[in-house]
Amino acid sequence: MPCEVPDEHPILKDAGFARHHISTPAGTLMEEPYDWCRPLTHEECANPYLVVVDINMSFAAAANGLTVGLNGPIHLTGNPIFDPSLPGSWLVDLSHVDLSRIWVNGRTVDGSRLPSPFTPKGDRPDGPAWYATPTLQYAVELGFDVAPIEAYVRTQTGRYLDFWYKRLRDAYVDAMADIGVTTDLQGEEFLEAMARRKQVDPTMALLETAIKATAKGAIGKLRQRSRGQVPYYEPYPALDRWTWRPDIRAAVLANQCTGLHRKLMKTAAAADLYPVAIGTDAIVYPSPGPSPLDVLPYTPEGKAAPGAFRLGVSPGMVKHQGTQTVL
């Protein structure tokens, strides 16, 4: 699968790629976390704060329930029909996707103030590129045509990462409860508990960090690179692991990015609220006040707007990462 491996992988030598070639989206699967920002509008500049919310264990949460391939890839050519039940990599042109044409909860959103869900930098695609199955599923969900040119897919599938996720989730939730951050806390109570947790038990706070690092690091290991251990195009130690599966990493990252984007869209539709920057799983919003409660949308009953970001300790929910004044 030349499209799924890092630049230094031996398979690329056999495929005729030049040494130290430069990867492009049309040749390499580039499902990566968001690294995006945009200028503030004049109206947004009137807000005195930038509030950052961070998704709890976002990569682990994205792995939960995700169907991945359990066998080797089958190469499909000749414009195969997209099948969302088949995990894998698909070469597709999504340059026609315009977020401003999408209706969310009965209204359109301002696509110019949202990142594209189809590139890590948030730019609109400019031609064919390789995408993991969850990304194309999201394009279909948004109402756009998907016409693959070729694909590498797996026909034996399963929710391989579910047990791994559940063990980490339980460990994380239990550790957080031990330092006073429980799943029943909401709003200001949750924010206060998060702010004082490291003083409650510094050792358990270190365990929290270790659990999160385990979740993030394990996904990275699925596509570990050579780190200069061997010459270019020579086999390196990580390739000997049966858990070296760049396609699974790509699927997790694709699921994380599309899940995040789905919430961005729902938040924009609910409150006309748009991010100004995203770094991996941290989202920056202009805000009239210093707290996430000043910016995240809520219903008249005091509940989080449906589909939008929710404060809480569980994986997939968000916490306050920080606030910066712009004055």
Domain positions in the chain: 10-325
Q: What pLDDT shows up at residue 226?
A: 87
Q: What pLDDT shows up at residue 156?
A: 97
Confidence check: pLDDT of 321 > 90: yes
Nearest C-alpha neighbor of 51 from the set 281, 287, 296: 287
Give the mean pLDDT of 162-180. Answer: 96
Confidence check: pLDDT of 212 > 70: yes
Q: In angstroms, rounded to a whole number, what is the distance separating the alpha carbons of residues 1 and 8?
A: 13
Q: What contacts 24+ positions apart, CB below 8 Å, involve 162-167?
A: 162/63, 162/64, 162/65, 164/63, 164/218, 165/60, 165/61, 165/63, 165/64, 165/315, 166/64
Q: What pLDDT shows up at residue 313?
A: 97
Q: In angstroms, rounded to a whole number, what is the distance separating the alpha carbons of residues 3 and 89?
A: 8
123-143, pLDDT tens digit by residue?
Answer: 999 999 999 999 999 999 999
Residue pair 253/281 in contact by the 8 Å Cβ criterion: no
Confidence check: pLDDT of 1 > 80: no
Least confident of 17-26, 261-270, 288-297, 317-326: 17-26
Give the mean pLDDT of 100-129. Answer: 91
Confidence check: pLDDT of 107 > 90: no
What confidence category does residue 246 fall into, taking pLDDT thresholds of 50, 70 and 90?
Answer: very high
Q: In angstroms, rounded to a whole number, what is the distance separating the alpha carbons of residues 255 and 60?
A: 10
Q: What pLDDT shows up at residue 24?
A: 84
Give the mean pLDDT of 97-119. Answer: 89
Q: In angstroms, rounded to a whole number, what is the distance separating the alpha carbons of residues 177 and 123?
A: 40
SS (H, E, C) the chain: CCCCCCCCCHHHHHCCCCCCCCCCCCCCCCCCCEEEECCCCCCHHHCCEEEEEEECCHHHHHHCCCCEECCCCEEECCCCCCCCCCCEEEEEECCCCCHHHCEECCEECCHHHCCCCCCCCCCCCCCEEEEEHHHHHHHHHCCCCCCCCEEEECCCEECCCHHHHHHHHHHHHHHHHHCCCCCCCCHHHHHHHHHHHHHHCHHHHHHHHHHHHHHHHHHHHCCCCCCCCCCCCCCCHHHHCCCCCHHHHHHHHHHHHHHHHHHHHHHHHHHCCCCCEEEECEEEEEECCCCHHHCCCECCCCCECCCCCCECCCCCCEEEEEEEECC
Residue pair 289/170 in contact by the 8 Å Cβ criterion: no
34-56, pLDDT tens digit by residue?
Answer: 999 999 999 999 999 999 999 99
Tally of CB atoms within 10 A around 153: 22
How remote is the C-alpha of 287 from its chain's centroid? 23
Confidence check: pLDDT of 68 > 70: yes
Q: What pLDDT shows up at residue 13?
A: 76
325 Cβ partners below 8 Å, 6+ apart? 48, 49, 50, 290
What confidence category does residue 18 fall into, taking pLDDT thresholds of 50, 70 and 90?
Answer: confident
Q: What pLDDT shows up at residue 129?
A: 97
Rounding to the nearest 10 degrees, give the CA dihedral for residues 272, 188, 52, 311. -70
Question: Residue 75 forms beta bridges with which residues?
Answer: 152
How remote is the C-alpha of 197 from its chain's centroid? 26
